[in-house]
Amino acid sequence: MDKKSVLQQAESVTFEVVADEAILIDINTGTYFSLNEIGTEFWEMLDGRQTIEQQAATLAAKYEVAPEMVVSDLLELAEEMAKDNLITIS
C-alpha cells in the first residue's frame, strides 16, 4: 500500500458515528475498531474513487497542516484497517 492506493470500505463492515467518532464492526468476524474525528472523515471518504494522496490533500487543507504529514498518518491508519480486513485496496 502506498499514497497512490485507492481504498474502499469492506462490505462486511458496518459503522456508526457517535459524537464525532466512528465505531466500526466487521459483522463477519466481530472485529471492533474506533476512529477519532479525523479518522472518521477518512473512513467516510473510502469509496474507491480517490487515492490516499488525494484524501490527504483534502484533510490537510481543511485542518491547515502539511499534506505529507497527513499522508503518513493515513497510511499508518490504513495499514491497521487492512490488517483487520476493514478495507479493500485497489
How far CA 63 is from CA of 41, 72, 85, in Å, comes to 12, 15, 28
User: What SS3 class is residue 83?
Assistant: helix
When pLDDT is averaged across residues 76-81 and rounded to a whole number, the result is 97
Instruction: Examine the pLDDT at 90 and tell me if it is beyond 90.
Output: no
pLDDT single digits (tens) 31-43: 999 999 999 999 9
Task: Tell me: pLDDT of 54 over 90.
Answer: yes
Residues 55, 75: Cα–Cα separation, whole Å: 11
pLDDT at 20 over 90: no
Q: In what order do the strands lie in the sheet with 87-89?
A: 47-51, 6-9, 87-89
Rounded CA-CA distance 3/5 in Å is: 6
Reported confidence tier of residue 67, pLDDT bands at 50, 70, 90: very high
